[in-house]
Amino acid sequence: MTFDIAAILAVDGIASGAIYALVAIGTVLLFSVTRVMFVPFGDLAAFTALTLAALDDGKTPGTVNLVIALAVLAFAMEALALVRAGKMKMLPRAALFYLVIPIAVALAVRLLAPATPPLPVRLIMALALIVPVAPLLDRIVFRPVADAPVLVLLIIAVALHFALVGLGLLFFGPEGVRTQPLTSWSTEILGAMVSGQTVCIVIAAVALSALLYVGFEFTLTGKALRATSSNRTGARLMGVRPARAGTIAYVLSSILAGVSGLLIAPVNTIFYDSGFLIGLKAFVGAIIGGLHSYPGAAIGAVIVGLLESFASFASSSLKDVIVFSVLVPILVWRSLVSVHIEEEDEE
Amino acid sequence: MSALLTLDKISVSYGRIQAVREVSVSIEPGQIVTIIGPNGAGKTTLMLAAIGLLASSGAMRYLGEDLAGVDVEARVERGMCLVPERRELFHDMNVEDNLTLGAYSRRAKAEIGRDLDDVFDRFPRLKERRRQLAGTLSGGERQMLALGRALMAKPRLLLLDEPSLGLAPLIVREIFKTIASLRSLGISILLVEQNARAALETADVGYVLETGQVTQQGAASELIGDPKLIAAYLGGH
């Protein structure tokens, strides 16, 4: 391997690593706040890519109907729960968040789609459409079992992933898509060609991570999210509702998943079931970082990206095998060095 | 004067085992009420039920309002605040962030800075350690942080569960001094303690809880002179 090839592979690896990093950070965020290992996270990224592709063609994306269906179901469940608890006063608020806002977004996209608005608008439309999906799924699937053990939540998340892949086939069809790059500009760094898309990916990953850091460190809501992941009972005793913290975590991580979907769409061909591999590689990154550290997850994800890139040069058919084989020694190393994290932390 | 909090025939069960049986307790505004009793009498269970972390039967009224169907977070918003036996601090967050979160339920961001200064005046040790992670504090500092965090919520009614548990005698004295001083802030306190003497010296009214039931109640000054109680709980001190 010459230096030139190594440089090209490194650039490639960093680009896909940055995408995995966004998904990995979202995975860690959701796991620490809600205790849900949200397996369908990669599916959200893939659905965003598929949504953007449909919008590029001036078609109404399948996500519109998906969001409307989820909104109706989520509101029905919330309304039933509120009526049973005799809290009718909270119905209008629930209707606004679970029904009106998601459906308004879906209808706006449906209305705008045939006109094929310019690319930045299409990006925002795709993102706006994907963000309500996970919070609605949370209300439908996880809220009724919020106090279940982590393992039960994980099993439900796996089942949800398979359900979503099925829905993906239904709403988006079996064809793969690849969208236009965000820019055709490119430059040369250390003799390696670096595309504008790669630069966009890295900038987006760094900017979103920085935004999250600022939010977690300096806002009361951010601190409430950290508190919920640190000690749920303690947070409740301060008036922080875990369900509400969970919804915020789902919205934030959906934005991360959505952006990674928008960024990966021009790089890889995305099918309705491509999300699983993205999510799994991000998960490996998050594991390398120890599953509770955001910088750790980001670094782990970049390592996975680099590994994948160099592995594909060595043997393209074995690249996934190589990436996932690394998980075994890492898990062994992790279980040896790190202190076991109990579900409830002890004094 | 109407009571701030009344617990009327409260029972709590863990499965088939009834930990608290028809306990009735009442706290007037401005009062310090203590519940003393041996280990396993159901004191902590009663506190968790009062804040809404455990389901209970019987009736609870706070400021004249029935607390049935009012969840923990809503009770906190109404001015109840529990400092639990396990403290439940945010160990991987620093002291200042822990305190700031105490004010979460008040939605009064503008006042947080001033209230932080008040807490730091009360507990100068916390000010020295404001950037330190809560998990690295000593036992006494953790209790101060738990108390300070609760004060940031500006509670009307403070529920204190074993604030002296596992602390050195000198720090216990300091904690009880702090509790007594909260009276001047107009905070009413329900205090659960194994350290019966210190609790009765601080409180206005005392209840004795044994195997889930109230066996004795009265003015703290009377209880502290009761020969039977002295033999059972106060002898060793």
Query: For residue B197, which amino acid is it?
Result: R
CB contact at 8 A, A278 and A42: yes
Element (H, E) at A297: helix A294-314
Element (H, E) at B228: helix B227-229
Q: What is the pLDDT of residue B54?
A: 94
User: Nearest Cβ partner of A227 from B72, B93, B109?
Assistant: B93
pLDDT > 90? residue A249? yes
Return the CA Rg of chain B.
17
- Whether chain B has a CB inside 8 Å of the CB on A248: the answer is no
pLDDT > 60? residue A346? no
Tell me which DSSP letter residue A35 carries. Answer: -
What is the b/e burial string over A89-113, where b = at least 16 CB atoms within 10 angstroms of the residue's CB?
eeeeebeebbbeebbebbeebeeeb
A chain contacts of residue B138, beta-carbon cutoff 8 Å: none
How many residues would you count in chain A? 347
CA distances from B14 to B17, B41, B42, B101 (A): 5, 14, 11, 31
Q: What is the pLDDT of residue A147?
A: 86
pLDDT tens, N- to C-terminus, chain B (237 residues): 589 999 999 999 998 889 999 999 999 999 999 999 988 899 999 999 999 999 999 999 999 999 988 999 999 999 999 999 999 999 999 999 999 999 999 877 788 999 999 999 999 999 999 999 999 999 999 999 999 999 999 999 999 999 999 899 999 999 999 999 999 999 999 999 988 889 999 999 999 999 999 999 999 999 988 888 877 776 544
How many residues would you count in chain B? 237
CB contact at 8 A, A259 and A286: no
- Nearest to residue A158, comparing CAs of A278, A242, A276, A45? A276
User: Nearest Cβ partner of B84 from A87, A237, A239?
Assistant: A237
Pairwise CB contact (< 8 Å): A236 & B73: yes
Pairwise CB contact (< 8 Å): A226 & B87: no
For B96, what's the count of Cα atoms within 13 Å in the CB-facing half-sphere?
14
CB contact at 8 A, A274 and A166: no
How does residue A16 score in pLDDT terms, banded at 50, 70 and 90?
very high
A chain contacts of residue B76, beta-carbon cutoff 8 Å: 237-239
Find, in chain A, the residue whose alpha carbon is nearest to that of B51: A237
Q: What is the pLDDT of residue A314?
A: 85
Q: What is the pLDDT of residue A343?
A: 42
Cα(A19)–Cα(A275) distance, integer angstroms:
12
Cα(B208)–Cα(B223) distance, integer angstroms:
9
Find, in chain A, the residue whose alpha carbon is nearest to that of B69: A85
B chain contacts of residue A88, beta-carbon cutoff 8 Å: none
- B223 burial class (0-12, 13-18, 19+ CB within 10 angstroms)? buried
Element (H, E) at A106: helix A101-112
What is the b/e burial string over A245-266, where b = at least 16 CB atoms within 10 angstroms of the residue's CB?
bbbbbbebbbbbbbbbbbbbbb
Predicted-complex ipTM score = 0.93
Tell me which DSSP letter residue B53 carries. Answer: S
Cα(A214)–Cα(A194) distance, integer angstroms:
29
SS3 A46: helix
- Nearest to residue B53, comparing CAs of A65, A233, A278? A233
pLDDT digits 0-9 by tens, A147-165:
899 999 999 999 999 999 9
Give CATH superfamily name and number for B5-24+31-44+55-170+183-189+212-234. P-loop containing nucleotide triphosphate hydrolases (3.40.50.300)
CA distances from A17 to A20, A48, A259, A282, A289 (A): 5, 18, 14, 8, 13
Domain ranges of chain B: 5-24+31-44+55-170+183-189+212-234
Cα(B62)–Cα(B79) distance, integer angstroms:
10
Domain ranges of chain A: 3-337
Find, in chain B, the residue whose alpha carbon is nearest to that of A232: B88
Identify from B53, B89, B101, B167 which residue to disrupt to test chain A contact, counting A C-beta atoms within 10 A and taking the largest count.
B101
* Tokens 């002291």 found at: B95
pLDDT > 70? residue A262? yes
- Nearest to residue A282, comparing CAs of A11, A38, A10? A38
Cα(A169)–Cα(B181) distance, integer angstroms:
66
Tell me which DSSP letter residue A61 carries. Answer: P
What average pLDDT score do residues A114-131 get?
94
Token pair of A316 as six digits = 């393209």
Identify from B47, B66, B73 which residue to disrupt to test chain A contact, counting A C-beta atoms within 10 A and taking the largest count.
B73
User: Nearest Cβ partner of B69 from A85, A226, A235?
Assistant: A85
Q: Among A23-27, A342-346, B44-48, whose mean pLDDT is lowest? A: A342-346
Token pair of B102 as six digits = 């105490």
CB contact at 8 A, B4 and B27: yes
Q: What is the pLDDT of residue B46?
A: 96
Find, in chain B, the residue whose alpha carbon is nearest to that of A227: B90
CA distances from A106 to A1, A127, B218 (A): 50, 11, 64
Q: What is the pLDDT of residue B1?
A: 53
Cα(B233)–Cα(A173) distance, integer angstroms:
74
- Whether chain B has a CB inside 8 Å of the CB on A341: the answer is no
Find, in chain B, the residue whose alpha carbon is nearest to that of A230: B90
Pairwise CB contact (< 8 Å): B104 & A220: yes
Q: What is the pLDDT of residue A340?
A: 53
Query: For residue A111, which amino acid is it?
Result: L
Cα(A209)–Cα(A277) distance, integer angstroms:
22
pLDDT digits 0-9 by tens, A188-230:
777 777 888 999 999 999 999 999 999 999 999 999 999 999 9
pLDDT > 60? residue A296? yes
Mean pLDDT of chain A: 90
Cα(B63)–Cα(A99) distance, integer angstroms:
36
CA distances from B151 to A222, B130, B160 (A): 21, 16, 12
Q: How many CB pairs under 8 A join A and B?
A: 70
Pairwise CB contact (< 8 Å): A226 & B97: yes
**How many angstroms separate the first and last alpha carbons of chain A?**
53
CB contact at 8 A, A257 and A45: yes
Give the bridge partners for B94, in sequence order.
B133
Cα(A265)–Cα(A253) distance, integer angstroms:
18
User: Nearest Cβ partner of A345 from B53, B91, B102?
Assistant: B91
Tell me which DSSP letter residue A135 carries. Answer: H
